[in-house]
Amino acid sequence: MAAPWEDVLRNKAAVEEAARVAVDAALLQGVLMRTEGEPNASDVVNYAPFTLLPSAVPSALFQQAYAVQQDFNLLVDAISQNKEFLERTLASTIKVDDFTARLFRIYMQVLEEGLAQSVFLGINRSDYMFDCGVDGTPSLKQIEINTIAASFGGLTSRTAAVHGQVLKVLGRSEEASRLLPNNPSKGLALGIAKAWELYGSQSAVVMFLVEEVQRNIFDQRCVENELWNRNIRVIRKRFRDVFEKGSLDDAKRLYMDGQEVAVVYYREGYVPKNYDQQNWEARLLLERSRAVKCPDIATQLAGTKKVQQELSQPGTLERLLPGRTEAVARMRATFAGLYSLDVGEEGDKIAAMAIADPDRFVLKPQREGGGNNLYDEELRQVLEKIKDSPERTSYILMDKIKPQPAMNYLLRAHSPLQVSECISELGIFGVYVRQGKEMVMNKAAGHLLRTKAIEHADGGVAAGVAVLDTPYLV
């Protein structure tokens, strides 16, 4: 399933010229990021890292990933409404993982008060790798579903144009014309706009809740601009601003600086370091409000690694989506082996199995954002250390997916041009809107391909490991 331009990679002069064109094209198209040195100013910006060439993706697996996205939207939404499931699934985790426990406490408090929110908006991204089976046939295997702050829907809308130009420069116009158009930011904005409309107040705004450090602002601006184009006002605020200036009225309408907020779109709040005591209070205020949260706290919990592991247990999908046999089969076909490390005989066996054969597995804590998982020797050492303690239950174990590597150049500012052996991860964006019990929108909104050198076991684009890419279907 190699791309038809492996030969090009050996032509040093052609590669150097193509790389110069590629970088300028990326800047012109707006594949941008702020710099590490000045993450909160746009005076000096750089191109976001990307591959020189598009990477080959098996067409059938690409279509399979799109075809299952609406099922995953339904599933995430069903989990978010199932208190009994979330309570039971996260019971062992919240005993040992303080972050999940704090989220869970807010979830319970909001439920006890009674939900003020009646419109629900989900924006998620289901990520996959192409596992190379024993006979070499690739299969689609899910890495995880991101239910909060799934990024790069904006910048990825612009990479196909860059890669198209690179292919033309390399004399591959035919292949360039076959790159697929892709615009997740538009689909995301359509979902936000629908939620805003159903909230039903013309003068209310959409609030992007953003981090203190905003290097990836251009990715977010792509979605913002789509909303402005529809005459929907967007404001950007941090938890700190909400703590200082946010308030609820008697009907739990959310106000910021006197402006009513219809939709809160979180690009923040997914890792412990996003929170201090004030930020937790701000989060609680937002969750108690009538505003549409994307995601609400229940949907964030639906995206935890522990929930993912529970979904792989026999019968779980069927119980969550009764009567949807085909959807269940489509989703299950993408699952890799996932194992609970809960205290007990079964967990003991799993831990022993991983310690004996660490190369077969990935050990995952309840964290997002890349760089948290453990592999190989480190996996073995950590598991040895915690195998007899309850701390073990804050992790899940997953089969390691092993894709077939391909050669490519990863273009990064201030880095030498050098060929790497790479693997890719495909993400499909899902968007849905529910009003009360009725699903009013359920879509796949586009894709994201990220590629990294094989020496990095973990990490995404924001973590500085993976780079943006464009699929070339083969």
CB-based burial label for 342 (10 Å; 0-12, 13-18, 19+) = middle
* Beta carbon nearer to ligand ADP, 127 or 296: 127
Q: Is 410 left (phi over 0), alpha (psi -120 to 50) or beta?
A: beta
Q: Which of 175, 172, 155, 160 is nearest to 18 (CA)?
A: 172
146 vs 157, beta carbon nearer ligand ADP: 146
Strand partners, 363: 374, 397
* Residue with smaller CB distance to ligand ADP, 39 or 459: 459
Where would I find the beta strands (DSSP E) of 251-356? 254-256, 259-266, 292-294, 338-340
Count of residues that interact with ligand ADP, criterion CB under 6 A: 20
- How many whole angstroms separate alpha carbon 121 and alpha carbon 468? 26
DSSP code of 158? G
Whether residue 360 is annotated as binding a ligand: the answer is no
Q: Is 142 annotated as a binding residue?
A: no
Q: Does 150 bind ligand ADP (CB under 6 A)?
A: no
Nearer to ligand ADP, 165 or 299 (CB): 299
Q: How far is CA 251 from CA 116, 117, 248, 288, 431, in A?
A: 8, 11, 8, 11, 28
71 binds ligand ADP (CB under 6 A): no
252 is in an annotated binding site: no
Check residue 368 for interaction with ligand ADP (CB under 6 A): yes
Map the footprint of ligand ADP across residues 213-242, applying CB under 6 A.
none
According to the binding rule CB under 6 A, does residue 392 interact with ligand ADP?
no
**Nearest distance, CB of residue 129 and ligand ADP, angstroms:** 6
Rounded Cα–Cα distance for residues 432 and 230 (Å): 19
CA angle 67, 71, 75 (to 5 degrees): 155
Residue with the CB atom nearest ligand ADP in the bound state: 401
Q: Using CB under 6 A, which of the segments 157-165, 180-188, 392-400, 432-440 binds ligand ADP?
A: 392-400
Q: Tell whether residue 373 is a contact of ligand ADP (CB under 6 A).
A: yes
Residues labelled catalytic? 125, 144, 146, 151, 305, 364, 368-369, 450
Q: Tell whether 131 is in a known binding site.
A: no
Question: Is residue 396 a known part of a binding site?
Answer: no
Nearer to ligand ADP, 227 or 401 (CB): 401
Structure tokens at 24: 């300028």
d(CA 219, CA 34): 11
Residue 225 makes CB contacts below 8 A (sequence gap 6+) with none
Q: Check residue 143 for interaction with ligand ADP (CB under 6 A).
A: yes
Q: How far is the CB of 222 from ligand ADP (least distance, A)?
A: 21
Residue 362 in contact with ligand ADP, rule: CB under 6 A:
yes
Beta strand ranges found along 400-461 (DSSP E): 406-411, 419-435, 438-453
Ranges within 297-316 binding ligand ADP (CB under 6 A):
none
Scanning 49-57, 102-110, 114-122, 394-402 for contacts with ligand ADP by CB under 6 A, the matching segment is 394-402
DSSP string, 64-84: HHHHTHHHHHHHHHHHHT-HH
3-state SS assignment for residue 203: coil
**Which residue, 338 or 431, has its beta carbon nearer to ligand ADP?**
338
Out of 458, 464, 473, 474, the only residue in the binding site for ligand ADP (CB under 6 A) is 458
401 appears as a binding residue in the annotation: yes
Name which position in 226, 268, 296, 425 contacts ligand ADP (CB under 6 A): 425
**What span, in angstroms and rounded, lies between the C-alpha atoms of 145 and 338?**
14
Is 130 in contact with 285 (CB distance < 8 Å)? no
Calpha distance 343→341 (Å, rounded): 6
What residue numbers does the annotated binding site for ATP cover? 144, 305, 364-373, 375, 398-401, 425, 452, 458
What residue numbers does the annotated binding site cover? 125, 144, 146, 148-151, 214-216, 220, 267-270, 305, 364-373, 375, 398-401, 425, 450, 452, 458, 461-462
What residue numbers does the annotated binding site for Mg(2+) cover? 144, 146, 368
Binding footprint of ligand ADP on the chain (CB under 6 A): 127, 143-144, 336, 362, 364, 367-370, 372-373, 398-401, 425, 458-460
What residue numbers does the annotated binding site for substrate cover? 125, 148-151, 214-216, 220, 267-270, 450, 461-462
